[in-house]
Amino acid sequence: MDFGPARNSTLHTVDRWRKDGIYPLFPVITEAATTRARIRQQRSMHPGDAHTGDHPVSVFGSADYLGLARHPEVVEGAVEAARRFGTGTYAIQAVGGYTELHEALEEATAAWFGLPSALLFPTGMQANLGVLDSLAGPRDLVFTDRFNHQSIAMGVRLSGAGAHVFGHNDPEHLEKLLQQTLREGHTGRRLIMVDGLFSADGDIAPLVQIADLAERYNALLVVDEAHSAGALGPHGRGAAELLGVLDRVDVLTGTFSKAFASTGGFACAGPDIVHLFRHTANTYLLSLGLPPASVGAALAALTVLAREGTERRRRLDDNAQALRAGLREAGIGTAGSAAHVVVVPVGTMDRTARVARRLAERGLLVGPLLHPVVPAGGGRLRLGVCAEHTTDDLTHAVHLISAVLADEGGQR
67-96 positions binding its own copies, by CB under 8 A: 68-70, 74-75, 77-79, 82-83, 85-96
Q: Report, in Å, the least distance between residue 23 CB and its own copies.
A: 11
Q: Is 339 in the site for its own copies (CB under 8 A)?
A: no
Q: Is 217 in the site for its own copies (CB under 8 A)?
A: no
Burial class (CB in 10 A: 0-12, 13-18, 19+), 154: middle
Q: Is 30 in the site for its own copies (CB under 8 A)?
A: yes
Q: Which one of 213, 297, 327, 338 is in contact with its own copies (CB under 8 A)?
A: 297
Q: Report, in Å, the least distance between residue 158 CB and its own copies.
A: 6
Query: Over the range 346-370, which residues count as b (16 or more CB within 10 Å of their CB) and which as e?
Result: bbebebbbbbbbbbbeeebbbbbbb
Q: What is the dihedral of CA 53, 58, 61, 67, to 10 degrees?
A: 130
Q: Is 158 in the site for its own copies (CB under 8 A)?
A: yes
| Angle formed at CA 207 by CA 219 and CA 385, multiple of 5 degrees | 135
Q: Which one of 21, 137, 333, 410 is in contact with its own copies (CB under 8 A)?
A: 137
Give the C-alpha separation, 167 to 190, whole Å. Answer: 18
DSSP reduced 3-state for 132: helix
Candidates 236-244, 254-262, 336-344, 347-355; binding stretch for its own copies (CB under 8 A): 254-262
Q: Report, in Å, the least distance between residue 321 CB and its own copies.
A: 22
Q: Is 185 in the site for its own copies (CB under 8 A)?
A: no
Q: Is 52 in the site for its own copies (CB under 8 A)?
A: no
Q: Is 146 in the site for its own copies (CB under 8 A)?
A: no
Q: Is 11 in the site for its own copies (CB under 8 A)?
A: yes
- Residue partners of 83: CB distance under 8 A and separation at least 6: none
DSSP reduced 3-state for 326: helix
Nearer to its own copies, 98 or 217 (CB): 98
C-beta separation of 237 from 113 below 8 A: yes
Q: Is 228 in the site for its own copies (CB under 8 A)?
A: no
User: Which of 180, 146, 143, 182 shows the shortest CA–CA distance to 161?
Assistant: 143
Q: Is 331 in the site for its own copies (CB under 8 A)?
A: no
Give the C-alpha separation, 370 to 359, whole Å. Answer: 16
DSSP reduced 3-state for 141: strand
Q: Is 148 in the site for its own copies (CB under 8 A)?
A: no
Q: Which one of 58, 144, 181, 283 is in contact with its own copies (CB under 8 A)?
A: 283
Q: Which one of 19, 20, 21, 28 is in contact with its own copies (CB under 8 A)?
A: 28
Q: Which one of 154, 163, 330, 335 is in contact with its own copies (CB under 8 A)?
A: 154
Q: Report, in Å, the least distance between residue 209 CB and its own copies.
A: 25
Q: Kindly list the strands in the beta sheet with 379-384, ordered across the sheet, starting from the edge strand earlier in the chain.
A: 341-347, 379-384, 367-369
Q: Report, in Å, the least distance between residue 364 CB and its own copies.
A: 11
